[in-house]
Chain A
């Protein structure tokens, strides 16, 4: 069994045991399927792998735990979405994902909305994910604009004392894998 790790444009050269399996101008990166329970260290190893691959070029992470029988099955699973993947890769190329969460009292919802709107302007794309927080946002930010984005988060924290704002990243574009 092999696990699908990421979709790329075919130029990335992963190190063994990860393999780039080409399909129609793109490639699906495959790794031997992990055995046993996924603990935090397993997840961090996957993150480190994706981050290293991102240094080589654009990629779309595949949902963790996506396992198929072999490389032929991998190609079959991804081929029908080829054009959507190509568009999504163009969308994320040169950008990283930043996470911003804001927690606070129930009446802080308008402030959280302002935080999101302000940050969305600085991003190539933005989405509010579900969750219990007042804001659980993902922002697709140009690599060169990450410092400016983080500085803006700092300013927003000072402006909105009722919220506790936490920014993490840069992440692979987990939240921006749709064609958009």
Chain B
């Protein structure tokens, strides 16, 4: 995978994690997987989001639509 494709995938991963862990049908009281582990992933990915702007100004990441 090219460097650009990896960057796009990482950016899209933020949206994926937000959606898989924060979206979808919620069935109360039935979430029993190791969510704590996943939450750690989530936190680090949120940090990535706040760095996207800087990365884009450096030309390291795709701009609008390119992650599509």
Binding between chains A and B: yes
Apart from A153-B65, A177-B24: 14 A-B pairs, beta carbons within 8 A: A39-B41, A47-B16, A61-B20, A62-B25, A65-B33, A65-B35, A77-B27, A81-B25, A85-B25, A131-B49, A153-B64, A166-B64, A167-B64, A171-B19
8 Å CB contact of B24 from A60, A101, A168: A60
8 Å CB contact of B52 from A63, A103, A170: A103
Interface string of B1-31 (1 = CB under 8 A from A): 0000000000111011111111111110011
- A1-60 interface with B by 8 A CB criterion: 1, 3-4, 7, 33-34, 36-40, 43-44, 46-47, 60
Chain B interface residues toward A at CB < 8 A = 11-13, 15-27, 30-35, 37-38, 41, 46, 49-50, 52-53, 56-57, 62-65, 67-68
The CA of A172 and the CA of B25, in the complex, are separated in Å by 12
Complex contact A174–B30 (CB within 8 A)? no
Residue of B nearest to A101 (CB): B49
If over half of A's interface residues share one DSSP class (helix, strand or loop), that class is named, otherwise mixed; here it is: mixed
Complex contact B25–A34 (CB within 8 A)? no
Chain A interface residues toward B at CB < 8 A = 1, 3-4, 7, 33-34, 36-40, 43-44, 46-47, 60-68, 77-78, 81, 85, 97-99, 101, 103-104, 129, 131-133, 136, 138, 150, 153-154, 156-157, 164-172, 174-175, 177
